[in-house]
């Protein structure tokens, strides 16, 4: 059996992580497509659910990057599943009554050879904001290849300058915002 090459979404996430590490952030990558994230909106859907371990990693992080391909103009079903499972966090609050994800920063990375990146980012950011994440200024980057063609991000020899510039701005702003939120928490809800 031949080894699969990394997906375009994974490579784009790696591009973000390179920038995050340069900015002093520790990074861990999790390929959700390799996990059994069961459907539902609870923190633990029972036996065989890999979400509880992933949830703990998200709770421990300051910045969450969601990297997704564009499939038929939308985010992947795996990215949608992550948002659905994060929905459970609305009722999970800290001692000050804040939802557990309040004070964390969200970034988005979208790749594809079809239109849809702006809509996907809007959908991701609206959901993540509802869950409690703070969205960094210019907090996304995307690469769209020519529509209906066979070139993917993974086929590129290097990241195009406009994409690299957008990623650098997203990372710079996210790292800054995460530092501000650590030093100045959102006010108590209760």
Q: Tell me the whole-structure pTM to 2 decimals.
A: 0.93
Coil, strand or helix at 76: coil
- Residue 1: pLDDT above 80? no
Decide the pairing of beta strands 74-75 and 105-112.
Answer: unpaired
- For the segment 82-140, what is each residue's pLDDT rounded down to a tens digit? 999 999 998 899 899 999 999 999 999 999 878 889 999 999 999 999 999 999 999 99
- For the segment 55-86, what is each residue's pLDDT rounded down to a tens digit? 999 999 999 999 999 998 899 999 999 999 99
d(CA 138, CA 189) in angstroms, rounded, equals 28
Residue 149 confidence (pLDDT): 79
Q: Is 167 left (phi over 0), alpha (psi -120 to 50) or beta?
A: alpha
Residue 4 confidence (pLDDT): 64
Share of the chain above pLDDT 90, in %: 85
Confidence of residue 3 (pLDDT cuts 50, 70, 90): low
Confidence of residue 2 (pLDDT cuts 50, 70, 90): very low
- Residue 5: pLDDT above 90? no
- Report the chain's mean pLDDT, rounded to a whole number: 93
DSSP 102-136: TT-EEEEEEEESSS-HHHHHHHHHHHHHHHTPEEE
Q: How many CB atoms lie within 10 A of CB 39?
A: 9
- DSSP class of residue 154 equals G
């Amino acid at each position: 059996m031949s080894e699969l090459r990394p997906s375009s979404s994974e490579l784009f996430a790696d591009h973000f992580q390179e920038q995050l590490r340069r900015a002093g952030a520790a990074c861990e990558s999790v390929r959700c497509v390799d996990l059994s994230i069961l459907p539902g909106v609870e923190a633990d859907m029972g036996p065989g659910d890999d979400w509880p371990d992933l949830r703990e990693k998200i709770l421990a992080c300051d910045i969450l990057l969601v990297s997704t391909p564009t499939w038929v103009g939308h985010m992947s079903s795996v990215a949608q599943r992550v948002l659905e499972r994060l929905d459970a966090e609305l009722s999970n609050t800290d001692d000050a009554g804040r939802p557990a994800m309040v004070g964390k920063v969200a970034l988005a990375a979208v790749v594809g050879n079809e239109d849809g990146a702006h809509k996907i980012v809007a959908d991701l950011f609206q959901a993540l904001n509802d869950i409690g994440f703070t969205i960094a200024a210019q907090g996304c980057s995307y690469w769209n290849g020519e529509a209906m063609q066979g070139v993917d991000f993974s086929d590129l020899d290097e990241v195009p300058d406009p994409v690299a510039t957008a990623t650098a701005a997203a990372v710079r702003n996210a790292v800054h915002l995460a530092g501000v939120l650590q030093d100045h928490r959102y006010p108590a809800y209760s």
